[in-house]
Amino acid sequence: MKSVIYIAFLIIALACDKRGAGLYLATPTAPEAIGPAKFQNPLLNAAPDPWVAQRGDFYYFLQTHGNRIEIRKTEKMSQLASASSTVVFNAPATGINSRDVWAPEMFFLQGKWYIYYTASDGQDVNHRMFVLENANEDPTTNNWVDKGQLMTQPADLWSIDGSIFEYSNELFFIWSGRPGAQNNNLTQNIYISKMSNPYTLTGQTVMISTPQHGWERNGFGVNEGPEILKNPDGDVFMIYSASYCGTDDYALGMLRLADNADPLKAVSWSKNPNPVFTKAPSAYGAGHNGFFKSKDGKEDWIIYHANMESHPNNNGCGNVRSTRMQRFTWNADGTPNFGTPVAAGAFLEVPSGE
């Protein structure tokens, strides 16, 4: 009986083998289509004044913490929340930079990294800008040297939100400041000065923007957080934040530098009459931004902070602000088109190349 069963099994096996795969291979089916990877805003909660530096394969993210400076290092901006974080500066217990450590920005200049940040001794009138330097290729290594206060010229005045502007092989510094040393005038203007090196201002200081429009004066008149943006043709724009940061109407404005013009002349800059990025539901007080390129260099992205909820009492200028990012494009006239802030929780495609 066993030999009969064995012979029958052998016949079936041989028959299946002649058909190629027979009982051993399932008919292949088309794989399910997998769409682009997605992420959601906010990227980080309690993360105001976001800034991104980009070098090689890495992005370096900084934000306001108040008493320290941290750098998050990641290869994918959509995964910022899981990026490793390194503290590179702790504010001293006392002194001119012991409190209100705000808006750090980091640049690679002349073969070294520099961080520019705002701080004070706890008194608003004493807000000033400071510089850290690191000669290591990796800025998360703890080799930072304190270069001290970045002195404004010709007088030591209230100043915050410093940033770098490289133009025509020269180095310029831009920041938000008040016209007097005392705090009885809260108006914040945007100033520019030339630099003799990455930690020293030289020559004249020029005011290139003051809050003149109603949308720049909600709460009180503010122009702050200036950031340089260049389009694919090399045209220069300065994107800045307008109105008091605690209001829902904190927004982005824009200046444009005339072609081949001297950036140290106020007439070289023209202001857009309307804001270029304003509040939306679940993104109130959208502003204080930075820019970066996608991994493959094909897309332009804006990173900014906003509030999830409306703050009608103008108290939205704190750690309730969260970091968001979204892609932007360019208009036919070369100006940036930031669109409107994307709603929190909406799914967005990750930057190309991730």
The per-residue pLDDT for 181 is: 60
Looking at residue 295, what is its pLDDT?
98
pLDDT of residue 12: 42
Per-residue confidence at 23, pLDDT binned at 50, 70, 90? Answer: very low
Query: Hey, is 333 helix, strand or coil?
Result: coil
Q: Residue 5 class from Cβ within 10 Å (0-12 exposed, 13-18 middle, 19+ buried)?
A: exposed
CB atoms under 10 Å from CB of 301, counted, come to 17
Instruction: State the pLDDT confidence band at 13, using cuts at 50, 70 and 90.
Output: very low
Note the pLDDT of residue 180.
75
Higher-scoring residue by pLDDT: 139, 185 = 139
Percent residues over pLDDT 70 in the chain: 90
What's the rounded mean pLDDT across residues 263-278? 99
Q: Is the pLDDT of residue 24 over 90?
A: no
Structure tokens belonging to residue 109: 């200049």
Q: With 70 as the cut, is the pLDDT of residue 177 above it?
A: yes
Q: What percent of the chain has pLDDT over 90?
A: 86
pLDDT for residue 185: 85
Q: Which of 31-35, 215-219, 284-288, 321-325 has the lowest mean pLDDT?
A: 31-35
| Domain ranges across the chain | 48-349
Bridge partners (DSSP) listed for residue 68: 90
CATH class for the domain made up of 48-349: mainly beta
Structure tokens at 39: 């992420």
Nearest in space to 286 (alpha carbons), one of 329, 247, 228, 231: 247
What pLDDT is stored for residue 2 in this prediction?
A: 43
- The residue with tokens 């290092």 is 73
**Which residues are catalytic, by number?**
49, 224
Give me the half-sphere count of Cα atoms (radius 13 Å) on the Cβ side of residue 33.
Answer: 2
Average pLDDT, the chain: 92
Is the predicted pLDDT of residue 31 greater than 60, yes or no? Answer: no
DSSP assignment letter at 153: S
- Give the model's confidence band at 179: pLDDT under 50 very low, under 70 low, under 90 confident, else very high: confident
